[in-house]
Amino acid sequence: MVEAKHKAFWAIKEINLDLERAKEKRVTQLYELVELTLEAYDNSLVYKEKTKRWHDARLKSPKEFNPNDKVLVYNSRFKFSPGKLKSRWTGPYIVKKAYPTGYLEFYGNGNTFKFNGHILKVYIDDINAIALPEMTPLR
């Protein structure tokens, strides 16, 4: 019996149940937890800013069309494969009016159409009109 009390006293002495020190240690741990939380919040803001800069740098500028430009329209009605060599672009059509919201009014084949500018691309009549870079021969 005396031996059990001695072991219990020894365990309490080892644990050191000093309440003031335990309280200080717990408060210190809470402050460290708050600091870690604030640091994680700051790091997430830095990550979001870097991601936004990366995303914004890769955004494409909107397509600009002017009246009397020739355009091709993407035909999205092909649900199944139309064939390897069949083009999904129809046209050319002539732009009648370009609205600031991004859609265009154009005409072709005696009809007038309105489409979003995202499914259009510029049609080039003369391939020689494109400026190509000088090519150096391979040796």
* pLDDT-based confidence at residue 43 (cuts at 50, 70, 90): very high
pLDDT at 129 over 70: no
Which of 123, 107, 108, 122 is closest to 65 using CA atoms?
Answer: 122
Residue 109 domain-assigned? yes
Q: Domain range spanning residue 122? A: 70-127
What size, in residues, is the chain? 139
Say whether pLDDT at 73 is over 70: yes
133 is a domain residue: no
**Which region among 4-8, 110-114, 123-127 has the lowest average model confidence (pLDDT)?**
4-8
Quote the pLDDT of residue 54: 93
> Angle CA(49)–CA(54)–CA(55) in degrees, nearest 5?
95
Query: Do residues 94 and 123 both lie within one domain?
Result: yes
Q: Which of 123, 125, 107 lies closest to 115, judged by CA?
A: 107
Q: What is the token pair recorded at 32?
A: 């460290």
* Measured distance CA(44)–CA(46) in Å, rounded: 5
Q: Are 91 and 51 within one domain? A: no
- Name the band, by pLDDT with cuts 50, 70 and 90, for residue 114: confident
pTM above 0.75, yes or no: no
Q: Is residue 78 part of a domain?
A: yes
Q: What is the helix (H) or strand (E) element at residue 50, kind and residue range? A: helix 19-57
**Domain total of the chain:** 2
Peptide bond before residue 82 is cis, with ω within 30 degrees of 0: no
CA distances from 26 to 14, 102, 125 (A): 18, 60, 77
